[in-house]
Structure 1
Amino acid sequence: MQSTCDGTCAESIDVNFKILRPVLEDMPPAYSTSGSAGFDLRACFDEETVTIAPGDRLAIPTGLAIDITTPSVAAFVYSRSGLGTKEGLTVSQGVGVIDPDYRGEIIVSLLNTSREPRTLRRCQRIAQLVFQPIRQARLRRVDELSSTDRGEGGFGHTGKM
């Protein structure tokens, strides 16, 4: 996939993609604008529409598989801001991670956070895919961790103001 970066992007990477469902043949993945951080993923279910009840989740196939050819990069599935804000449909786990070695179909799990049933149409844009650098940690077991001023202070330990 070639980036449509107009020079405002730090760098582009090469990502191969495979269309798994014929409905996407005329809608290959593409960035909407030259400054877009991610490209849209589309709903590729067999039915014309599907409805997600309030509070329910639905795993939605996207008809797309990818091969990230740049080392130390992974893909992340984020909610589309308009769909989340206007319709209450968000990526159910917050952010989905597509590991660099995964070659299967990208599936997006959407959660209906609204109080109304929400209906999606086949090929509707449902999420966005963003590529970001990753690092694996060298995990080392120790008997003690280093000390800090915060220590073990957890949620809300610094107060509200």
Structure 2
Amino acid sequence: MSSEVTILVLREPGADAALPLPEYQTSGSAGADLRADLGGDELVLAPGQIRLVPTGLRVQIPEGFEMQIRPRSSLALKHGVTLPNTPGTIDSDYRGPLGVIMINLGAAPYAIQHGERIAQAVIAPVIRAQYVMAEELGETARGAGGFGSTGRA
């Protein structure tokens, strides 16, 4: 089963119009690739360095949905380059520049190339909750067991 949601996209002034809009690489892809728009240059991420990488895009996400920004597994596995706040959330009412916060956890500097695929955008439905103060919470087998309480510590 496949559903489609329309995401309106606007290029930033000065953005590279030759770069593709976010796109899915295969028919089964959950995430559309986002590309770095670096004005034709490269951006070097030193080991341990965090940078906001521009995409040159702004998006309009329909109400009731969010855009999750996720790392590309190949960058993480091969170079240790990932996203420190994964998944990042782009809310439906945000209209500012779409940037990707990236970190180099690898041992060597990594040069992000202009037009390189740097992250994936996944569109997901949003369910808003109502938070209500309670007198007590229901009992479970786990109870108040915290991190690692159901497996190896």
Say whether 1:94 aligns with 2:86.
Answer: yes
- Identify the match of residue 85 of structure 1 among 77, 87, 95: 77
Gaps of 5+ in 1: 1-8
Are residue 64 (structure 1) and residue 57 (structure 2) matched? Answer: yes
Q: CA deviation at 1:138?
A: 0.7
Please state how far the C-alpha of 1:146 moved relative to its aligned partner.
1.6
Letter in 2 for 1:75: M
Give, in whole Å, the separation in 2 of the partners of 1:96 and 1:76: 5
Structure 2: stretches of 5+ with no match in the other structure? none
Residue by residue over 1:93-146, the C-alpha shift from the partner in whole angstroms, topping out at 9 and shown as x without a partner, is 121100111111111010101011111111211101010111111111123222
Tell me the distance in 2 between the aligned counterparts of 1:19 and 1:120.
Answer: 20
Query: 1: CA distance between counterparts of 2:57 and 2:5?
Result: 18
Residues of 2 paired with 1:113 and 1:49: CA distance?
18
Q: Secondary structure at the match of 1:76?
A: strand
Cα deviations by residue, 1:11-42 (Å, 9 ceiling, x for unpaired): 11111110115443122312222222121111
1:55 maps to 48
Q: Are 1:12 and 2:1 matched, yes or no?
A: no
Instruction: Report the secondary structure of 2:20's partner residue.
Output: coil
Q: TM-score, normalised by structure 1?
A: 0.86
Identical-pair percentage: 36
Please report how far the alpha carbon of residue 149 of structure 1 lies from its aligned counterpart in structure 2 after TM superposition.
1.5
Shift of 1:160: 2.7
**Aligned counterpart, 1:73:** 65
Distance 2:4 2:65 in 1: 11
Q: Does residue 120 of structure 1 match 2:126?
A: no
Taking a change above 3 Å as real, the CA distance of residues 31 and 158 of structure 1, as seen in their structure-2 partners, is closer
Taking structure 2 as the reference length, the TM-score comes to 0.90
- Is 1:131 the counterpart of 2:120? The answer is no
From 37, 40, 49, the counterpart of 1:44 = 37
Q: Is the 8 A contact 2:16 2:39 kept in 1?
A: no
